[in-house]
Amino acid sequence: MQLSFDDRSYLITGGGSGIGRAVAAGLAAAGADVLIVGRGAERLASVAAELGGSARLDEGEAKLGPPGEPRVRHLAADITDEDGVAAAVEAAAQRGRLHGVVHCAGGSETIGPITQIDSAAWRRTVDLNVNGTMHVLKHAGRALVRGGGGSFVGISSIAASNTHRWFGAYGPTKSAVDHLLMLAADELGASSVRVNGIRPGLTRTELVAPILDSPELSEDYRVNTPLPRVGEVDDIAGLALFLLSDAASWITGQVINVDGGQGLRRGPDFTAMLEPAFGADGLRGVVGK
């Protein structure tokens, strides 16, 4: 199946690395105008340059090339800042309308037993994953409706569906992301806006390097994943591009696992990584006075 995105405009949050970068590369190669957004201006500039991009938007409005020419622009923005999100959506629609969004930005500041979670870090993670997703959905949704429709794809996690012990706020907030995506799909379908989610499993990015470097954790993932390999960012990007395309025009409200089948089994056992820090008793919730 050939997917063409000629003369269409897309916004990618978290576009400076990992899955977001892979989606931006795929869209640009297929002829789209892409705006990548993230917190790290230098990283965004480097990625945009690698993908044939132009000047940073806050140094003056970037001039787009002729229709059909791959373009990647970049803008530093924090999704927890609603005004910054609104500005990014407006910039992405420079041609007159926004055709789609892939929302990859997210993360977590909490790890360890729930009885020992830092409450401030919990709140920051909720702000990033839940409130940040709401900001992007709210403002991108407005633009997609004004343009007559489009596609929104949110990147969730297998941690939303399979419990990941000691992952703190990450799993609960990704579950909230899933529900937000389904809610938006139900509300915005009448305006021809499709909203879907992707739950990646263990995918090779900078963030999971410590897992892949650990023999114990790598083996635990292996025995709980039917397909015998680690996921790659292109595995996730491929589905994202399909969901953005006209080939998926009758698909909305779905949250699809791309996890090698791990969702059929159980979440990972991080005992080997966390027991040295928290102790065996700590992992079962014991907290000293």
In order of start, what are the domains of the chain with their CATH numbers?
Answer: 9-205+231-266 (3.40.50.720)
Q: What is the pLDDT of residue 2?
A: 60
What pLDDT does 207 receive? Answer: 85
Query: For 56, left (φ over 0), alpha (ψ -120 to 50), or beta?
Result: beta
Q: Is 170 a catalytic residue?
A: yes
Treating both helix axes as pointing N-terminal to C-terminal, what angle do 215-223 and 271-283 enclose, rounded to 10 degrees? 90
pTM passes above 0.85:
yes
Count of other CB atoms within 10 angstroms of residue 5? 23
* Rounded Cα–Cα distance for residues 164 and 103 (Å): 22
| pLDDT for 69 | 52
Q: Cβ distance 253 to 195 under 8 Å?
A: yes
Beta-ladder partners of 257: 199
Per-residue pLDDT of the chain (289 residues; tens, 9 = 90+): 667 898 899 999 999 999 999 999 999 999 899 999 999 999 999 999 999 866 445 543 444 555 545 489 999 999 999 999 999 999 999 878 999 999 999 999 999 999 999 999 999 999 999 999 999 999 999 999 999 999 999 999 999 999 999 999 999 999 999 999 999 999 999 999 999 999 999 999 988 899 999 999 999 999 999 999 999 999 999 999 999 999 999 999 999 999 999 999 999 999 999 999 999 999 999 998 6
Contact predicate 237/29, CB 8 Å: no
Would you call 273 helix, strand, or coil by DSSP? helix
What pLDDT is stored for residue 7 in this prediction? 87
Provide the pLDDT for residue 60. 39
Which is the catalytic residue, given 5, 10, 167, 170?
170
| pLDDT number for residue 55 | 47
